[in-house]
């Protein structure tokens, strides 16, 4: 007999996303957080399906978004044991919010250094200001990546 996890993986491999999400929704009912996360992914899939039916999305964008949904389904499987039960303490992170946090930190870092470097500049050279701002953005992004690496451990 095939395990529920293997069943969902085979649904994803066969591009049967609706079946995979339905099965995942059934399995996640015992954990509100996981169940809510599955519903969010299901809403994304329904939105994508609606856009496809209306013809408001091109094929390459639809494929890209479907691949992201498949990735989310496979990530969600990490919250389950081999028999399809939600693991105790399973938490699914919202990748969108961590990306948003990284962008906010990067932006604040850039603005902070831009203010420090340019506060005494009176109509300074735009190219130099752009170069410094770009460098500050790079340093900010580097810090975000380093901090994220330590948080994941």
Domain total of the chain = 2
Residue 83: pLDDT above 50?
yes
Going by pLDDT thresholds of 50, 70 and 90, the confidence category of residue 31 is confident
For residues 77 and 137, give the distance between their C-alpha atoms in angstroms, rounded to a whole number: 35
User: In this structure, are 31 and 64 located in the same domain?
Assistant: yes
For residues 75 and 129, give the distance between their C-alpha atoms in angstroms, rounded to a whole number: 42
For residues 93 and 75, give the distance between their C-alpha atoms in angstroms, rounded to a whole number: 10
Going by pLDDT thresholds of 50, 70 and 90, the confidence category of residue 103 is low
Arithmetic mean of pLDDT over the chain = 75
Mean pLDDT of 131-140: 68
- Give the percent of the chain with pLDDT over 90: 30
The answer to whether residue 88 sits within a structural domain is no
Last residue of a domain, which of 44, 79, 114? 79
Mean pLDDT of 22-40: 87
Last residue of a domain, which of 79, 106, 121? 79
Residue 96: pLDDT above 50?
no
143: Cα separation from own chain's centroid:
19
User: In this structure, are 74 and 118 located in the same domain?
Assistant: no
Residue 52: pLDDT above 80?
yes
Residue 84: pLDDT above 70?
no
Range of the structural domain that residue 120 is part of: 95-151
Residue 141: pLDDT above 90?
no
The encoded tokens of residue 29 equal: 């009912």
Determine the pLDDT at residue 97: 46
CA 11, 15, 19 angle in degrees (round to 5)? 45
User: In this structure, are 26 and 70 located in the same domain?
Assistant: yes
The answer to whether residue 133 sits within a structural domain is yes
The answer to whether residue 14 sits within a structural domain is yes
pTM for this entry: 0.57
User: In this structure, are 64 and 108 located in the same domain?
Assistant: no
User: In this structure, are 105 and 75 located in the same domain?
Assistant: no
Mean pLDDT of 100-129: 57
């Amino acid at each position: 007999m095939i395990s529920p996890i293997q069943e969902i993986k085979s649904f994803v491999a066969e591009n049967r996303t609706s079946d995979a999400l339905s099965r995942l929704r059934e399995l996640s009912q015992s954990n509100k957080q996981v169940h809510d996360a599955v519903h969010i992914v299901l809403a994304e899939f329904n939105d994508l399906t609606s856009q496809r039916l209306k013809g408001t999305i091109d094929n390459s964008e639809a494929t890209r978004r479907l691949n992201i949904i498949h990735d989310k389904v496979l990530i969600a499987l990490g919250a389950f044991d081999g028999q399809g039960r939600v693991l105790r303490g399973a938490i699914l992170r919202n990748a969108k919010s961590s990306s948003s946090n990284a962008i906010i930190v990067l932006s604040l870092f850039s603005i902070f250094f831009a203010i420090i470097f340019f506060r005494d500049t009176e109509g300074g050279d735009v190219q130099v200001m752009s170069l410094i701002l770009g460098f500050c953005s790079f340093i900010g992004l580097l810090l975000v990546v380093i901090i994220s690496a330590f948080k994941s451990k």
